[in-house]
Amino acid sequence: MSDDRALILIDCQVGFNNPFWGQRNNPDFEANAQAVLAHWRARGRRIIHVRHASLEPNSPLRDEEPGFAFFEWAEPRENEVEIIKHVNSCFIGTGLEDLLQAEGHHGLVLLGLTTNHCVSTTARMAGNLGFDVCLVGDACATFPRTAADGETFDADMVHRTALASLHEEFCTVQSSERLLSEE
């Protein structure tokens, strides 16, 4: 695999532990995300931490709320980039695309929260911008969603459907184990 790939951690924030969101799927999210992060750090490769600063009045992710903080394991270290965004895409209003192009990163590895929102939106945009995107499916997670007709879909169904919608269209979805075995 190419070592030009940048790892992008999307919204790995304390606010997603808030009951506001409902019951999250994928209890292995943290362990899988930490394994990928440790692998990138051990090899001194580019790591970008993106944090959501919500503009919604009741969101636990507002920048003045405790939930804005990164999970302890996801705190950026020296030489790791932090980007703050206000919308679902990590590319809108952030300078991320310019940074990636300036540093020569043609490939991206994405992980984080939530699969069907910010992760999906970022994967779609990255694919459309011409990046070669790997999405680490078991290092992402999400929450239940209610459709317009009132039907509720559990978090695992939302997660799996989001990954299926992205795979081989905007990105390649891989497990953390497979990604790390190929690196």
Model confidence pLDDT, tens digit, residues 136-160 = 999 999 999 999 999 999 999 999 9
pLDDT band at 1 (very low <50, low <70, confident <90, very high): very low
Say if CB 152 and CB 31 are below 8 A apart.
Answer: no
Model confidence pLDDT, tens digit, residues 3-21 = 689 999 999 999 999 988 9
- Number of Cβ within 10 Å of residue 1's Cβ equals 10
Whole-prediction pTM value? 0.96
Per the document, the length of the chain is 183
**Where in the chain are the domains?**
6-11+23-46+88-182
φ and ψ at residue 19, rounded to 5 degrees: -60, -15
- In the chain, beta strands by DSSP E: 6-10, 47-52, 81-85, 107-113, 132-141, 145-146, 152-153, 172-174
CATH 3.40.50.850 fits 6-11+23-46+88-182, yes or no: yes
Model confidence pLDDT, tens digit, residues 100-122 = 999 999 999 999 999 999 999 99
